[in-house]
């Protein structure tokens, strides 16, 4: 799952340093990839790693099959990956790409948040 965060002018919000680093380390050929720490595993782990090894990078998505009109919910932290520190209105949409050959994107409902200026403490 990815987020699309836009400011009130419709511009994509700047990526945080954390997202830039994650993309540099784990975003290859349009897909998120990870590895098992200490190994040379070339792709995502489909089952939880065993032993004392630890998964590094974005977690593989759980497979979710929906019937037409179905729903699914995910949690996320868009402000961790997009700079929303400036006061203003932002729109946030979650999106996920199908692993089917069509590689079609599916979008969540758009939510709107308002970031207010920091109020001075009295």
Q: What is the pLDDT of residue 9?
A: 95
Distance CA 55, CA 68 (A): 33
Judge whether 122 lies within some domain: no
120 lies in some domain: no
- Euclidean distance between CA atoms 43 and 33, whole angstroms: 6
Strands 35-36 vs 55-56: parallel, antiparallel or unpaired: antiparallel
Cα-Cα-Cα-Cα dihedral sign, residues 19, 24, 26, 30:
positive
Quote the pLDDT of residue 61: 53
pLDDT of residue 12: 95
User: Does a structural domain hold residue 30?
Assistant: yes
Model pTM? Answer: 0.65
Is residue 59 within 8 A of residue 46, CB to CB? The reply is no
Using an 8 Å Cβ cutoff, are 107 and 93 in contact?
yes
Residue 20 lies in a domain: yes
Burial of 81: CB neighbours in 10 Å, binned 0-12, 13-18, 19+: buried
Query: Cα-atom radius of gyration of the chain, to the nearest Å?
Result: 17
Coil vs helix vs strand at 117: coil
For the chain, the domain total comes to 1
Domain coverage including residue 23? 2-115
In a domain, 39, yes or no: yes
Q: What is the pLDDT along the chain (122 residues), one digit of tens a residue?
A: 788 999 999 999 999 998 898 888 878 777 777 655 555 444 444 444 444 444 555 555 555 666 777 776 666 788 888 999 999 999 999 888 777 777 788 888 899 999 999 888 87
């Amino acid at each position: 799952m990815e987020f699309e965060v836009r400011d009130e002018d419709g511009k994509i919000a700047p990526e945080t340093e954390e997202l830039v680093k994650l993309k540099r380390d784990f975003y290859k050929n349009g897909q998120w990839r990870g590895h098992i720490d200490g190994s040379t595993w070339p792709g995502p782990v489909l089952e939880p790693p065993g032993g004392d090894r630890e998964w590094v990078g974005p977690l593989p998505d759980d497979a979710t099959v929906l019937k037409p009109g179905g729903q699914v919910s995910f949690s996320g932290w868009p402000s961790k990956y997009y700079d929303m520190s400036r006061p203003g209105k932002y729109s946030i949409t979650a999106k996920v790409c199908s692993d089917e050959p069509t590689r079609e994107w599916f979008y969540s409902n758009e939510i709107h948040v308002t970031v207010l200026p920091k109020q001075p403490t009295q």
